[in-house]
Amino acid sequence: MRILLVMDPGILVPPKGYGGHERLVYMFAKEYARLGHEVHLLVTRGSEVEGCTVHPFGKEGFPPKKWDARMAIPTAWRFLWKHRNDFDLIHNFGRLAYLLPVLNHPVKKIMTYGREISSGNIRVMNRLPNRNLVYTGCSRDLISRVQAGGRWEAVYNAIPFEQYTVQPTVAPDAPLMFLGRIERIKGAHTAIAVAKATGHRLILAGNISPLVEEKKYFEGEIQPHIDSKQIVYVGALNDEQKNFYLGKAKALLFPIEWNEPFGMVMVEAMACGTPVIGFNSGSVNEVIDEGRTGFKVQTDAEMTYKIASISEIDRTDCRNQAVERFDVPVIAKHYLSLFDKA
Protein backbone atom coordinates (compact mmCIF):
# COMPACT_ATOMS: atom_id res chain seq x y z
CA MET A 1 0.00 0.00 0.00
CA ARG A 2 1.18 3.53 -0.77
CA ILE A 3 0.60 5.83 2.18
CA LEU A 4 0.91 9.62 2.45
CA LEU A 5 1.22 11.28 5.87
CA VAL A 6 0.51 15.01 6.06
CA MET A 7 1.54 17.46 8.80
CA ASP A 8 1.33 21.24 9.08
CA PRO A 9 4.63 22.90 8.14
CA GLY A 10 6.70 24.63 10.80
CA ILE A 11 8.27 21.82 12.86
CA LEU A 12 10.67 19.27 11.42
CA VAL A 13 9.88 15.56 11.35
CA PRO A 14 11.30 14.17 13.57
CA PRO A 15 11.14 17.25 15.81
CA LYS A 16 14.31 18.63 17.37
CA GLY A 17 12.51 19.40 20.63
CA TYR A 18 9.21 18.32 22.11
CA GLY A 19 6.99 18.23 19.07
CA GLY A 20 3.44 16.95 19.20
CA HIS A 21 1.88 15.31 16.21
CA GLU A 22 5.27 15.60 14.51
CA ARG A 23 6.53 12.83 16.80
CA LEU A 24 3.54 10.67 15.97
CA VAL A 25 3.98 11.25 12.24
CA TYR A 26 7.62 10.19 12.53
CA MET A 27 6.82 7.05 14.52
CA PHE A 28 3.94 5.94 12.32
CA ALA A 29 5.85 6.64 9.11
CA LYS A 30 8.67 4.39 10.29
CA GLU A 31 6.25 1.70 11.42
CA TYR A 32 4.23 1.77 8.18
CA ALA A 33 7.50 1.42 6.27
CA ARG A 34 8.63 -1.43 8.56
CA LEU A 35 5.40 -3.23 7.71
CA GLY A 36 6.34 -3.07 4.03
CA HIS A 37 4.26 -0.11 2.85
CA GLU A 38 5.60 2.61 0.57
CA VAL A 39 5.50 5.73 2.73
CA HIS A 40 5.54 9.37 1.63
CA LEU A 41 5.36 12.49 3.80
CA LEU A 42 4.17 16.01 3.03
CA VAL A 43 5.98 17.79 5.87
CA THR A 44 8.29 20.71 6.69
CA ARG A 45 11.25 21.28 4.38
CA GLY A 46 14.38 19.72 5.91
CA SER A 47 12.58 16.74 7.45
CA GLU A 48 14.08 13.28 7.03
CA VAL A 49 12.55 9.89 7.81
CA GLU A 50 14.59 6.80 7.00
CA GLY A 51 12.95 4.49 4.48
CA CYS A 52 10.40 7.12 3.43
CA THR A 53 10.06 9.76 0.71
CA VAL A 54 9.75 13.32 1.99
CA HIS A 55 8.00 15.99 -0.08
CA PRO A 56 9.19 19.40 1.27
CA PHE A 57 6.34 21.60 2.44
CA GLY A 58 6.85 25.05 3.97
CA LYS A 59 9.61 26.45 6.15
CA GLU A 60 10.85 25.46 9.59
CA GLY A 61 9.76 27.89 12.30
CA PHE A 62 7.06 27.70 14.95
CA PRO A 63 4.71 29.40 15.13
CA PRO A 64 4.92 29.93 11.37
CA LYS A 65 4.79 33.42 9.91
CA LYS A 66 1.29 34.48 8.82
CA TRP A 67 2.17 34.36 5.13
CA ASP A 68 3.70 30.90 5.39
CA ALA A 69 0.68 29.61 7.29
CA ARG A 70 -1.66 31.11 4.69
CA MET A 71 0.25 29.58 1.80
CA ALA A 72 0.25 26.10 3.35
CA ILE A 73 -3.32 25.37 2.28
CA PRO A 74 -3.01 26.10 -1.46
CA THR A 75 0.37 24.32 -1.50
CA ALA A 76 -1.20 21.21 0.03
CA TRP A 77 -4.15 21.46 -2.35
CA ARG A 78 -1.88 21.53 -5.42
CA PHE A 79 0.12 18.55 -4.18
CA LEU A 80 -2.91 16.43 -3.28
CA TRP A 81 -4.73 17.17 -6.53
CA LYS A 82 -1.66 16.42 -8.62
CA HIS A 83 -1.10 13.12 -6.77
CA ARG A 84 -4.75 12.20 -6.17
CA ASN A 85 -4.33 8.84 -7.88
CA ASP A 86 -0.92 8.00 -6.46
CA PHE A 87 -1.86 6.92 -2.92
CA ASP A 88 -4.07 4.28 -1.34
CA LEU A 89 -4.29 6.08 2.00
CA ILE A 90 -3.83 9.69 3.09
CA HIS A 91 -3.30 10.03 6.85
CA ASN A 92 -3.70 13.70 7.72
CA PHE A 93 -2.39 15.12 11.02
CA GLY A 94 -2.62 18.70 9.75
CA ARG A 95 -5.51 20.99 8.90
CA LEU A 96 -8.79 19.44 7.82
CA ALA A 97 -8.94 21.88 4.89
CA TYR A 98 -5.98 20.12 3.25
CA LEU A 99 -8.28 17.25 2.28
CA LEU A 100 -10.72 19.34 0.22
CA PRO A 101 -9.27 18.47 -3.24
CA VAL A 102 -9.60 14.73 -2.57
CA LEU A 103 -12.64 14.78 -0.29
CA ASN A 104 -14.88 12.95 -2.75
CA HIS A 105 -12.05 10.97 -4.36
CA PRO A 106 -11.98 7.20 -3.69
CA VAL A 107 -8.61 7.40 -1.88
CA LYS A 108 -8.95 6.37 1.78
CA LYS A 109 -8.55 9.29 4.18
CA ILE A 110 -7.89 9.44 7.93
CA MET A 111 -8.19 12.81 9.67
CA THR A 112 -6.49 12.59 13.09
CA TYR A 113 -7.09 15.00 15.98
CA GLY A 114 -5.05 15.31 19.16
CA ARG A 115 -6.56 18.45 20.67
CA GLU A 116 -9.97 20.12 20.98
CA ILE A 117 -11.96 19.75 17.78
CA SER A 118 -14.00 22.43 16.01
CA SER A 119 -17.42 20.92 15.37
CA GLY A 120 -18.17 23.75 12.95
CA ASN A 121 -15.36 22.77 10.58
CA ILE A 122 -16.48 19.13 10.65
CA ARG A 123 -20.08 20.10 9.86
CA VAL A 124 -18.97 22.11 6.83
CA MET A 125 -16.87 19.19 5.57
CA ASN A 126 -19.65 16.68 6.10
CA ARG A 127 -22.10 18.76 4.05
CA LEU A 128 -19.82 18.36 1.04
CA PRO A 129 -19.76 15.19 -1.07
CA ASN A 130 -17.18 12.91 0.52
CA ARG A 131 -16.03 9.30 0.38
CA ASN A 132 -13.82 7.03 2.47
CA LEU A 133 -13.20 9.57 5.25
CA VAL A 134 -12.67 8.53 8.86
CA TYR A 135 -12.12 11.01 11.69
CA THR A 136 -10.06 9.89 14.68
CA GLY A 137 -9.56 11.46 18.08
CA CYS A 138 -6.96 10.44 20.66
CA SER A 139 -9.63 9.52 23.24
CA ARG A 140 -13.31 8.72 23.43
CA ASP A 141 -13.69 11.63 25.81
CA LEU A 142 -12.34 14.04 23.21
CA ILE A 143 -14.68 12.67 20.54
CA SER A 144 -17.67 12.89 22.90
CA ARG A 145 -17.49 16.68 22.73
CA VAL A 146 -17.86 16.76 18.93
CA GLN A 147 -21.36 17.54 17.67
CA ALA A 148 -20.90 17.27 13.94
CA GLY A 149 -21.60 13.80 12.58
CA GLY A 150 -19.31 11.75 10.39
CA ARG A 151 -17.57 8.45 11.08
CA TRP A 152 -15.42 8.64 14.21
CA GLU A 153 -13.05 6.26 15.95
CA ALA A 154 -10.95 6.67 19.08
CA VAL A 155 -7.32 5.80 18.36
CA TYR A 156 -4.96 6.45 21.25
CA ASN A 157 -1.59 8.13 20.98
CA ALA A 158 1.55 6.01 21.06
CA ILE A 159 5.08 6.25 22.40
CA PRO A 160 8.26 4.36 21.44
CA PHE A 161 8.59 2.06 24.44
CA GLU A 162 12.13 1.06 23.47
CA GLN A 163 13.25 4.53 24.60
CA TYR A 164 12.12 3.89 28.18
CA THR A 165 13.59 1.50 30.74
CA VAL A 166 11.37 -0.19 33.29
CA GLN A 167 12.53 0.16 36.89
CA PRO A 168 11.07 -2.89 38.71
CA THR A 169 11.62 -1.38 42.15
CA VAL A 170 12.26 2.00 43.73
CA ALA A 171 13.41 2.97 47.20
CA PRO A 172 10.77 3.44 49.93
CA ASP A 173 11.69 7.13 50.07
CA ALA A 174 11.56 7.56 46.27
CA PRO A 175 10.16 10.95 45.19
CA LEU A 176 6.84 11.70 43.58
CA MET A 177 6.91 13.43 40.23
CA PHE A 178 4.99 16.07 38.29
CA LEU A 179 5.79 16.47 34.59
CA GLY A 180 3.99 18.95 32.37
CA ARG A 181 3.71 22.61 31.45
CA ILE A 182 3.67 24.73 34.59
CA GLU A 183 0.16 26.06 34.08
CA ARG A 184 -2.75 26.15 36.50
CA ILE A 185 -4.85 23.63 34.57
CA LYS A 186 -2.02 21.09 34.81
CA GLY A 187 -2.18 21.20 38.61
CA ALA A 188 1.42 21.58 39.78
CA HIS A 189 0.13 23.35 42.90
CA THR A 190 -1.87 20.26 43.82
CA ALA A 191 1.16 18.02 43.31
CA ILE A 192 3.12 20.22 45.73
CA ALA A 193 0.33 20.08 48.30
CA VAL A 194 0.11 16.26 48.06
CA ALA A 195 3.89 15.88 48.42
CA LYS A 196 3.92 18.07 51.51
CA ALA A 197 0.91 16.32 53.04
CA THR A 198 2.58 12.91 52.65
CA GLY A 199 6.12 13.97 53.49
CA HIS A 200 7.47 13.02 50.07
CA ARG A 201 9.99 14.79 47.92
CA LEU A 202 8.59 16.05 44.61
CA ILE A 203 10.45 16.31 41.32
CA LEU A 204 8.74 19.12 39.42
CA ALA A 205 9.52 19.17 35.69
CA GLY A 206 8.21 21.10 32.71
CA ASN A 207 8.50 24.37 30.88
CA ILE A 208 7.17 27.62 32.33
CA SER A 209 4.47 29.14 30.15
CA PRO A 210 5.29 32.55 28.60
CA LEU A 211 1.67 33.70 29.07
CA VAL A 212 1.41 36.58 31.55
CA GLU A 213 -1.20 34.95 33.78
CA GLU A 214 0.70 31.67 33.85
CA LYS A 215 3.98 33.38 34.73
CA LYS A 216 2.17 35.02 37.64
CA TYR A 217 0.87 31.58 38.64
CA PHE A 218 4.40 30.16 38.66
CA GLU A 219 5.91 33.10 40.50
CA GLY A 220 3.13 33.32 43.06
CA GLU A 221 2.04 29.72 43.70
CA ILE A 222 4.87 27.43 42.59
CA GLN A 223 8.23 29.17 42.92
CA PRO A 224 7.86 30.00 46.66
CA HIS A 225 7.64 26.26 47.43
CA ILE A 226 10.76 25.29 45.46
CA ASP A 227 13.46 24.72 48.05
CA SER A 228 15.68 22.25 46.14
CA LYS A 229 15.20 19.81 49.02
CA GLN A 230 11.60 18.63 49.29
CA ILE A 231 10.33 20.41 46.17
CA VAL A 232 12.91 20.30 43.36
CA TYR A 233 12.35 21.99 40.00
CA VAL A 234 14.44 20.47 37.19
CA GLY A 235 13.05 22.43 34.22
CA ALA A 236 11.98 21.04 30.87
CA LEU A 237 13.24 17.52 30.14
CA ASN A 238 14.45 15.76 27.01
CA ASP A 239 13.71 12.08 26.37
CA GLU A 240 16.74 10.77 28.25
CA GLN A 241 16.01 12.95 31.25
CA LYS A 242 12.36 11.88 31.31
CA ASN A 243 13.44 8.25 31.33
CA PHE A 244 15.80 8.96 34.24
CA TYR A 245 13.46 10.97 36.46
CA LEU A 246 10.28 9.02 35.75
CA GLY A 247 12.10 5.75 36.37
CA LYS A 248 13.19 6.70 39.86
CA ALA A 249 9.82 8.16 40.90
CA LYS A 250 7.39 6.34 43.20
CA ALA A 251 4.43 7.72 41.25
CA LEU A 252 3.55 10.35 38.67
CA LEU A 253 0.93 12.82 39.90
CA PHE A 254 -1.48 14.01 37.20
CA PRO A 255 -3.82 16.46 38.98
CA ILE A 256 -5.31 18.09 35.89
CA GLU A 257 -8.03 20.73 36.09
CA TRP A 258 -9.27 20.41 32.51
CA ASN A 259 -10.36 17.75 30.02
CA GLU A 260 -6.92 16.55 28.86
CA PRO A 261 -7.37 15.02 25.37
CA PHE A 262 -4.82 12.27 26.07
CA GLY A 263 -1.90 13.00 28.40
CA MET A 264 1.18 11.41 26.83
CA VAL A 265 3.18 11.80 30.04
CA MET A 266 0.98 9.21 31.74
CA VAL A 267 2.09 6.57 29.25
CA GLU A 268 5.72 7.70 29.44
CA ALA A 269 5.60 7.13 33.19
CA MET A 270 4.01 3.70 32.76
CA ALA A 271 6.75 2.80 30.27
CA CYS A 272 9.22 3.20 33.16
CA GLY A 273 6.99 1.10 35.41
CA THR A 274 5.89 4.19 37.33
CA PRO A 275 2.19 4.21 38.26
CA VAL A 276 0.05 7.29 37.73
CA ILE A 277 -2.41 8.88 40.15
CA GLY A 278 -4.64 11.18 38.14
CA PHE A 279 -7.75 13.27 38.55
CA ASN A 280 -10.48 11.51 36.61
CA SER A 281 -11.09 14.15 33.94
CA GLY A 282 -10.74 14.03 30.19
CA SER A 283 -8.95 10.92 28.97
CA VAL A 284 -7.66 9.80 32.38
CA ASN A 285 -10.44 7.24 32.74
CA GLU A 286 -9.34 5.61 29.47
CA VAL A 287 -5.57 5.75 29.93
CA ILE A 288 -5.18 4.52 33.53
CA ASP A 289 -6.10 0.91 34.26
CA GLU A 290 -7.31 1.11 37.85
CA GLY A 291 -5.07 -0.77 40.26
CA ARG A 292 -2.77 -1.97 37.50
CA THR A 293 -1.14 1.14 36.00
CA GLY A 294 -2.34 3.61 38.61
CA PHE A 295 -5.35 5.08 40.36
CA LYS A 296 -8.11 7.48 39.32
CA VAL A 297 -9.22 9.96 41.99
CA GLN A 298 -11.57 12.90 42.28
CA THR A 299 -10.03 15.16 44.93
CA ASP A 300 -6.76 16.30 46.47
CA ALA A 301 -7.60 14.26 49.58
CA GLU A 302 -8.12 11.07 47.52
CA MET A 303 -4.82 11.62 45.72
CA THR A 304 -3.06 12.06 49.05
CA TYR A 305 -4.69 8.90 50.42
CA LYS A 306 -3.76 6.78 47.37
CA ILE A 307 -0.03 7.46 47.77
CA ALA A 308 0.03 4.75 50.44
CA SER A 309 -1.36 2.20 47.95
CA ILE A 310 1.23 2.76 45.21
CA SER A 311 3.43 -0.12 46.44
CA GLU A 312 0.57 -2.52 45.64
CA ILE A 313 1.15 -1.99 41.91
CA ASP A 314 3.70 -4.26 40.23
CA ARG A 315 5.90 -1.94 38.20
CA THR A 316 6.85 -4.54 35.59
CA ASP A 317 3.19 -5.40 35.06
CA CYS A 318 2.45 -1.68 34.82
CA ARG A 319 4.90 -1.40 31.93
CA ASN A 320 3.62 -4.57 30.23
CA GLN A 321 0.01 -3.41 30.36
CA ALA A 322 0.95 -0.06 28.84
CA VAL A 323 2.92 -1.76 26.05
CA GLU A 324 -0.11 -3.83 25.09
CA ARG A 325 -2.24 -0.71 24.75
CA PHE A 326 0.00 2.14 23.61
CA ASP A 327 3.08 0.84 21.78
CA VAL A 328 3.65 2.17 18.25
CA PRO A 329 2.99 -1.15 16.42
CA VAL A 330 -0.32 -1.55 18.31
CA ILE A 331 -1.62 1.91 17.42
CA ALA A 332 -0.31 1.80 13.82
CA LYS A 333 -2.17 -1.49 13.33
CA HIS A 334 -5.33 0.16 14.68
CA TYR A 335 -5.06 2.97 12.14
CA LEU A 336 -4.46 0.59 9.24
CA SER A 337 -7.45 -1.52 10.28
CA LEU A 338 -9.97 1.33 10.14
CA PHE A 339 -11.06 0.63 6.60
CA ASP A 340 -11.13 -3.12 7.14
CA LYS A 341 -14.03 -2.50 9.51
CA ALA A 342 -15.93 -0.32 7.06
Q: Helix/strand/coil (H, E, C) string of the chain?
A: CEEEEECCCCCCCCCCCCCCHHHHHHHHHHHHHHCCCEEEEEECCCCCCCCCEEEECCCCCCCCCHHHHHHHHHHHHHHHHHCCCCCCEEEECCCHHHHHHHCCCCCEEEEEECCCCCHHHHHHHHHCCCCCEEEEECCHHHHHCCCCCCCEEECCCCECHHHCCCCCCCCCCCCEEEECCECHHHCHHHHHHHHHHHCCCEEEECCECCCHHHHHHHHHHHHHHCCCCCEEEEECCCHHHHHHHHHCCCEEEECCCCCCCCCHHHHHHHHCCCCEEEECCCCHHHHCCECCCEEEECCHHHHHHHHHHHHHCCHHHHHHHHHHHHEHHHHHHHHHHCCCCC
- pLDDT > 70? residue 341: no
Mean per-residue pLDDT over the chain, rounded: 94
Contacts of 161 (CB under 8 A, 6+ apart): 271, 319, 322, 323, 326, 327, 328
Distance of alpha carbon 270 from alpha carbon 276, whole angstroms: 7
Q: Residue 130's pLDDT band (boundaries 50, 70, 90)?
A: very high
Tell which wins on pLDDT, 116 or 189: 189
Nearest in space to 277 (alpha carbons), one of 248, 301, 306, 300: 306
The per-residue pLDDT for range 269-278, each reduced to its tens digit, is 999 999 999 9
Average pLDDT of span 1-20: 88
- pLDDT > 80? residue 335: yes
pLDDT score of 71: 87
Cα-trace Rg, the chain: 21
Q: Residue 19's pLDDT band (boundaries 50, 70, 90)?
A: low
> For residues 79, 85, 88 and 91, what is the CA-based torsion angle, rounded to 10 degrees?
20
Contact 62/48 with Cβ under 8 angstroms? no
Average pLDDT of span 80-99: 96
Is 0.85 surpassed by the pTM of this model? yes
Contacts of 122 (CB under 8 A, 6+ apart): 96, 135, 146, 148, 149, 150
Task: Report in angstroms the alpha-carbon separations of 302 from 7, 137, 186, 253, 306.
Answer: 40, 29, 17, 12, 6
Task: Report in angstroms the alpha-carbon separations of 148 from 118, 125, 173, 261.
Answer: 9, 9, 50, 18
Average pLDDT of span 103-128: 93
pLDDT score of 18: 66
pLDDT score of 67: 77
- The proportion of the chain whose per-residue pLDDT surpasses 90, expressed as a percent, equals 89
The per-residue pLDDT for range 190-226, each reduced to its tens digit, is 999 999 999 999 999 999 988 999 999 999 999 999 9
Peptide bond into 64 cis (omega under 30): no
- pLDDT > 70? residue 40: yes
Burial (0-12, 13-18, 19+ Cβ within 10 Å), 342: exposed
- pLDDT > 60? residue 230: yes
pLDDT score of 15: 87
Distance of alpha carbon 192 from alpha carbon 203, whole angstroms: 9
Domains of the chain: 2-158+327-337 (3.40.50.2000), 161-325 (3.40.50.2000)
